[in-house]
Amino acid sequence: MNQKNVDKDNARGDITSRLPDHLLCRILSCLPTEDAVRTCILSSRWRDLWTSIHGLYFDGGNEKSRSWFLNFVERVLGLCQLKDIHNFHLRSSTLREKDFSRVSEWICFAIQRNVRHLFLDVYSTSNFTRHKRILELPQSILTCETLVELKLCSDIVIDIPGSGICFPSLKILHFGFCHPDRGLMQKFFSSCPTLEELTIEGILHPRDNVQTINIIVQTLKRLSISVFVMQGYVSERIFEIRTPNLEYLSIIANSLAYFVLDEIPFLKKAFVLVEFNVLRRNSSGIFENDARSALELVKRIKSMKILSLPDSMTVFPALNIFSGYQFLNFLIFCTPDLVLSFVLNNNLPTFSNLISLELHIDSCFGWKLLTPFLKSSPSLKVLNLDFSKAHKLTPNTLQDIVFEDLVCVEPECAPHCLSSCVEVIEITNLKREDYELEMVRYLLENSKVLEKFSVGFAEDAPEDNLRKEILMFPRGSKTCNIEFC
């Protein structure tokens, strides 16, 4: 290395050494605690610096031995000098049941130091075989006045009193489970006087004796539920939701029949995704229970401003809570738009506030879904259509369905929103299917105030030919700009 490079490295070192301790501690607080501790060998100044960081992140992954992890956590906590801990994250799947008393002591340590954000993802090696809720939370967590966010990715047990206020400052709660306790969950939800954001993730097995879970939280603004119910589970109504001040709702499930909602008057955005079981159809073959549940849910959230009905295949693999389970081969992934298409015969409510709509479109159900939504959205400004992973359904696949009743041609009369308010249309994953180009042509020709028409192509699409074709389509708006991406 020449002298010039040495001087540059020294200059960089000088910059770091001139930073004040509190700023260095903030930087170290963003690192996994194991990495932060390693900085003690850099110099005498760094030796004890890590003991003053505000975030502790312990990850006992499979590559770390159980005894090493236990000793490391306790050594770090023993040397920690802070009175306040902003973040305390604990993750391990290699512990044994006898270790959980030590885990409870670690949680007490964080509570005593005014923890604000607490994340717990702890399982013993026997948790999936014995099906026991073995992580007992300390009672002191109920009265912790600094705790604003609690993320539980472990089956837990704690004695929550039937009356009185707990979690006085908690605003964000993430509740993950493998074997849920209905009573405990309801006590959790009803004991948080300031709760604004609730996330529920889990899997329900036939052996889980869970009745209806009531979510009655007046202060709640954001609710996300991701639940997969295994075959053989008999309960239909799993979640009853009464959250009148909700602004954001996300539901990911394998049936919408599991949800009962009161009307949500202030909802701004809804994200709905359903994995649909083709074997669960009645004698007439119209998936009636699931389909009508989907329609009923849409009616309950009609005040929303943004609605997203995406493709389930792009979302379900991302759910970590399902990572250890294989979906059975008789399940076919379909979207709420497919379900709704069975019952959309002019039954949609009017979405007076809806300004942004995202739909997954396929060859069988495209127009049958799109047309009613456009007719029911008089204020729509942004329309996003995704042509990815079109469903390959045929009369042989669903023998009882009269396919002629499901395939629908373009509307004779253009919906009012196209001529008056739709300003942006975004197309993604365009291939070269005839129905796709028919929709593109129709939307360009009938959108009278359109300003931007964006087209994104699928990987195997003949882009050059498609660009030329689309640019030749007539445009209803003189100010429309077509963009290809």
The pair phi, psi for residue 153, each rounded to 5°, is: -110, 25
Q: Above 50 in pLDDT, residue 314?
A: no
Give the best-scoring range by mean pLDDT among 241-255, 366-380, 385-399, 405-419.
241-255
- Alpha-carbon span 244 to 265, nearest angstrom: 7
Pairing mode, strands 248-253 and 259-261: unpaired
Q: What is the dihedral of CA 330, 154, 80, 41, to 10 degrees?
A: -20
- Alpha-carbon span 424 to 449, nearest angstrom: 9
pLDDT band for position 139 (cuts 50, 70, 90): very high
- The gap from C-alpha 37 to its chain's centroid, in whole angstroms, comes to 33
Mean pLDDT of 383-400: 60
Joined together, the tokens standing for residue 110 give 């964080």
Q: Which of 20-29, 174-183, 271-280, 289-298 has the lowest mean pLDDT?
A: 271-280
Q: What contacts 324, CB < 8 A, 6 or more positions away?
A: 128
- Alpha-carbon span 183 to 213, nearest angstrom: 8
- Tokens 């959980």 label which residue? 100
Mean pLDDT of the chain: 76
Q: Above 60 in pLDDT, residue 128?
A: no
Q: Above 50 in pLDDT, residue 282?
A: no
Reference 454, options 428, 476, 473; nearest CA is 428
Q: Which of 258-262, 296-300, 447-451 has the lowest mean pLDDT?
A: 296-300
Pairing mode, strands 248-253 and 269-274: parallel
- Alpha-carbon span 237 to 240, nearest angstrom: 7
Q: What does the radius of gyration of the chain's CA atoms come to, in whole angstroms?
A: 27
Per the model's pLDDT, the better-predicted residue between 44 and 256 turns out to be: 256
